[in-house]
């Protein structure tokens, strides 16, 4: 099918909820993607932080094929080995106690919110269901996770939204200012992704963990974007020196298949009891096998390389000194570049894509880079060269 026909059929048969770029992707290898017309793109986006091992990774493909041939799905009424193997590896490496498997980030966060409210209900009864989230956060697109998201632009059209969330500035005073007897938890991203790649201050996170312990509030960390190696440790909290009461993950976990979940620490391991939470596809054997292949690939050597590649990427962009780009920030291969006033992130992204480099945008006029975690030096060089050549002339 040619591109114009494909586009026309999309507009006719698919709900137009996405502002797509004028490109159709056909296939990929490593961190390189190929358009329908054969055009080559270096991928600094990983399908929004999903394709952690890049495209066509052999171990990942083999794990999926082998499991699909053996058993493609089985309900949660039965035991099966793939999700058990994954649960063991994941919880041990995360320092957590147990896990509930789901299918997406929003669903993982729904589970985490339910866990926090039930923890509090079991111990204190009704009236303590409020969760503090941060301004500029993003937690998902279901009604409840939209309600949890601390950005007004997301609180539109779909009224009524849910009560039970209060939005704080990302400081201890900010959190104290919205505290109350009705609070059971604080939920946050350690690097706000959709909001514009803002890493949290380490002192704030340390003090917040202490405050949560004092008040018996659960510390809930949304690692849907930061998790599974993205920041150079398996989870970002491992760099912040805190252990969450619960942590959600999704995006990169299965390297491209829909998967996610929520892990609980020892204090919260028994909160979600039989009948209180479920999902039909949760722990699907093919997704679990893919996720195991991702985790086995992300060993200590690869995680250290993610840190190095992230530092290299930021240094290289800083030293380009482009007129349209300001300061860079982030952790590991989660990089934000502040677009300067007078320039538009979406316009710059479109120019880069035209030139053969796929990048993402984020809130607050930011360009966001989430390359596949296994991207090679050669692919990084190619991408950076396209960035320099394309943006050098812009606005000069
Ligand atoms: C993407 C994202 C979500 C939502 O994940 P979906 O899989 O799209 O439901 C939630 N939280 C954070 C931090 C995210 O980046």
For 240, the enclosing helix (H) or strand (E) is helix 237-240
The 8-class DSSP code of residue 369 comes to E
Q: Is 252 in the pocket of ligand 1 (CB under 6 A)?
A: no
366 lines ligand 1 (CB under 6 A): no
| pLDDT for the residue 257 | 98
Q: Which pLDDT score is estimated for 51?
A: 98
Taking the CA of residue 142 as reference, the ligand 1 atom at the shortest distance is 9
**What CATH fold (topology level) applies to the domain 3-52+300-391?**
3.90.1150
| pLDDT at residue 131 tops 80 | yes
CB-based contact 360:45 (threshold 8 Å): yes
For the segment 111-127, the average pLDDT, to the nearest whole number, is: 98
What does each C-alpha distance from 272 to 77, 112, 148, 276, 313 come to in angstroms? 16, 10, 21, 6, 42
Q: Which residues of 101-116 are buried (b: 16+ CB within 10 A; e: fewer)?
A: bbbbbbbbbbbbbbbb
CB of 223 within 6 A of ligand 1: the answer is no
How confident is the prediction for the chain on average, in pLDDT? Answer: 97
- Give dist(CA 180, CA 217) in Å, integer: 11
Q: Is 43 in the pocket of ligand 1 (CB under 6 A)?
A: no
User: What is the 363 CA–ligand 1 centroid distance (Å)?
Assistant: 14
Q: Is the pLDDT of residue 356 over 80?
A: yes
CA nearest ligand 1 atom 8, residue? 105
Query: Which atom of ligand 1 sits closest to the CA of residue 141?
Result: 9
Q: Is 349 in the pocket of ligand 1 (CB under 6 A)?
A: no
Average confidence (pLDDT) over 105-134: 98
**Taking the chain, what is the end-to-end CA distance rounded to the nearest angstrom?**
40
Residue 395: pLDDT band (50, 70, 90) is: confident
224 lines ligand 1 (CB under 6 A): yes
Which residue out of 49, 101, 105 has the highest number of ligand 1 atoms within 8 Å of its CB and is therefore the one to mutate? 105
The residue-averaged pLDDT of 38-49 equals 98
**Distance between Cα 151 and ligand 1 center (Å):** 14
Preceding amide of 160 cis, omega within 30? yes
220 close to ligand 1 (CB < 6 Angstrom): no
Question: What is the CA(197)–ligand 1 centre distance, in A?
Answer: 14
From the CB of 232, is ligand 1 less than 6 Å away? no
Rounded Cα distance between 62 and 24, Å, is 26
Say yes or no to pLDDT of 203 above 90. Answer: yes
Say how many Å lie between the CA of residue 361 and the centre of ligand 1.
15
Which pLDDT belongs to residue 235?
Answer: 98
**Whether 222 contacts 189, CB under 8 Å:** yes
Residue 40 reports pLDDT greater than 70 = yes
Mean pLDDT of 69-84: 98
Distances (CA, A) of 341 to 46, 323, 325, 394: 27, 10, 9, 13
CA angle 319, 55, 387 (to 5 degrees): 20
Question: Averaged over 8-32, what is the pLDDT?
Answer: 97
- Per-residue confidence band for 256, with pLDDT thresholds at 50, 70 and 90: very high
Å from CA of 362 to ligand 1 middle: 13
Q: Describe the strand order of the beta sheet including 32-35 as a list of residue ranges.
A: 25-29, 32-35, 40-43, 357-358
Residue 21: pLDDT band by 50, 70, 90 thresholds? very high
Q: 139 in ligand 1 pocket by Cβ < 6 Å?
A: yes
CA–centroid distance, 341 to ligand 1, in Å, is: 28
Q: Residue 277 has what pLDDT?
A: 98
Q: What is the mean predicted confidence (pLDDT) over 214-239?
A: 98
Pocket of ligand 1 contains residue 261 by CB under 6 Å: no
Please give the class, per CATH, of domain 58-297. Answer: alpha beta
Label residue 246 by pLDDT band (50, 70, 90).
very high
CA–CA dist 357, 387 (Å, integer):
7
Residue ranges of the domains in the chain?
A: 3-52+300-391, 58-297
- The Å distance, Cα 325 to ligand 1 centre, comes to 26
Which atom from ligand 1 is nearest to the alpha carbon of 258?
Answer: 7
Say how many Å lie between the CA of residue 107 and the centre of ligand 1. 9
> What's the 108 CA to ligand 1 centre distance in angstroms?
9
The set of residues, in sequence order, having a beta carbon less than 8 Å from that of 8 and lying 6+ positions away, is none
How does DSSP assign 63-74, residue by residue? HHHHHHHH-S--
If you measure from the C-alpha of residue 248 to the centroid of ligand 1, how many angstroms do you get, rounded to a whole number? 10
Phi-psi region of 283 (alpha: psi -120 to 50; beta: other; left: phi over 0): left
The H helix count followed by the E strand count for the chain is 13, 17
Confirm whether pTM is higher than 0.75.
Answer: yes
Confidence of residue 321 (pLDDT cuts 50, 70, 90): very high
* pLDDT for res 396: 62
């Amino acid at each position: 099918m040619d591109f114009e026909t494909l586009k026309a059929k999309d507009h006719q048969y698919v709900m137009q909820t996405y502002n797509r770029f004028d490109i159709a992707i056909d296939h990929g290898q490593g961190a390189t993607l190929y358009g329908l017309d054969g055009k080559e793109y270096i991928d600094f986006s990983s399908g929004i932080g999903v394709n952690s091992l890049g495209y066509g990774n052999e171990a990942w493909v083999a794990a999926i094929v082998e499991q699909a041939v053996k058993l493609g799905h089985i309900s949660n009424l039965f035991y099966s080995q793939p999700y058990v193997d994954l649960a063991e590896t994941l919880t041990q490496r995360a320092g957590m106690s147990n896990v509930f498997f789901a299918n997406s980030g929003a669903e993982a966060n729904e589970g985490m919110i339910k866990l926090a409210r039930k923890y509090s209900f079991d111990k204190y009864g009704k009236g303590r269901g409020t969760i503090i989230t941060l301004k500029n956060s993003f937690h998902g697109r279901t009604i409840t996770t939209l309600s949890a998201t601390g950005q007004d632009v997301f609180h539109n059209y779909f009224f009524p939204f849910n009560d039970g969330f209060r939005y704080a500035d990302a400081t201890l005073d900010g959190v104290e200012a919205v505290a109350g007897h009705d609070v059971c938890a604080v939920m946050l991203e350690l690097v706000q992704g959709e909001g514009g790649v803002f890493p949290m201050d380490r002192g704030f996170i340390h003090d917040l963990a202490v405050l949560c312990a004092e008040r018996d509030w659960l510390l809930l960390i949304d690692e849907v974007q930061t998790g599974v190696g993205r920041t150079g440790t398996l989870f970002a909290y491992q760099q912040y020196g805190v252990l969450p009461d619960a942590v959600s993950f999704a995006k990169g976990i299965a390297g491209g298949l829909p998967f996610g979940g929520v892990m609980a620490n020892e204090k919260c391991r028994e909160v979600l009891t039989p009948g209180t939470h479920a999902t039909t596809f949760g722990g699907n054997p093919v997704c679990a096998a893919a996720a195991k292949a991702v985790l086995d690939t992300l060993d200590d050597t690869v995680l250290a390389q993610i840190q190095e590649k992230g530092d290299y990427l930021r240094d290289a962009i800083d030293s380009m000194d482009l007129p349209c780009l300001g300061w860079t920030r982030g952790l590991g291969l989660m990089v934000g570049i502040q677009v300067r006033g007078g320039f538009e992130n979406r316009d710059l992204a479109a120019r880069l894509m035209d030139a053969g480099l796929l990048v993402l945008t984020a809130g607050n006029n930011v360009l966001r880079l989430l390359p596949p975690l296994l991207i090679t030096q050669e692919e990084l060089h190619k991408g950076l060269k396209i960035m320099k050549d394309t943006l050098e002339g812009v606005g000069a």
